[in-house]
Amino acid sequence: MGTWDTGHFDSDSAADFSGAIDDKPEAEREAVIRDALTVAIEADYLDSDEGAPAVAAAALVASQCPGGEPVTTPYGPDNPLPVLATDLRPLAVKALDAVLGENSELRELWEDGGDKEWALGIARLREVLVAAAG
């Protein structure tokens, strides 16, 4: 896993995900986000290369929620996102739950590394999404 910090976009997989969004026309960008969330939710075992894009996708959804932080990292998408459908909010919560779950390589790697900042960032992200999902 090429990871350089604890931010939601601070890995090769998340940065590649941002590039995949930028490669799509604006009307298709939401589908890329939805797909990343769905992959995480449906995985029996969530590989870190699938978990990191799910976290990044959740951060993009949360950025459009009340209390959400804008994505300002240079590793996020360069092109603007459309207004995302509100049904992505509960999907993003489920995806984060999968990332934090027992069958998540990403969670295992961060726990093994002993860094608590990553999990705190996920918890803050989840809190915004839960509040917005109703």
pLDDT category of residue 2 using cuts at 50, 70 and 90 = confident
CA dihedral 110, 96, 64, 9 (to 10 degrees): 30
User: Does any domain span residue 6?
Assistant: no
Which residue in 132, 39, 129, 48 sits closest to 92, CA to CA? 129
User: Does any domain span residue 125?
Assistant: yes
Q: How many domains does the chain have?
A: 1
pLDDT category of residue 124 using cuts at 50, 70 and 90 = very high
Distance CA 77, CA 87 (A): 21
Instruction: Find where tokens 């986000």 sit.
Output: 33
How much is the pLDDT for 5?
78
How much is the pLDDT for 52?
96
pTM of the model: 0.95
How much is the pLDDT for 4?
74
User: Does any domain span residue 104?
Assistant: yes
pLDDT category of residue 7 using cuts at 50, 70 and 90 = confident
Look at phi and psi of residue 34 and say left if phi exceeds 0, alpha if psi is from -120 to 50, else beta.
Answer: alpha
Tokens of 15: 């940065």
User: Does any domain span residue 3?
Assistant: no
User: Does any domain span residue 83?
Assistant: yes
Containing structural domain, residue 17 = 12-133
Are 80 and 22 a contacting pair, CB within 8 Å?
Answer: no
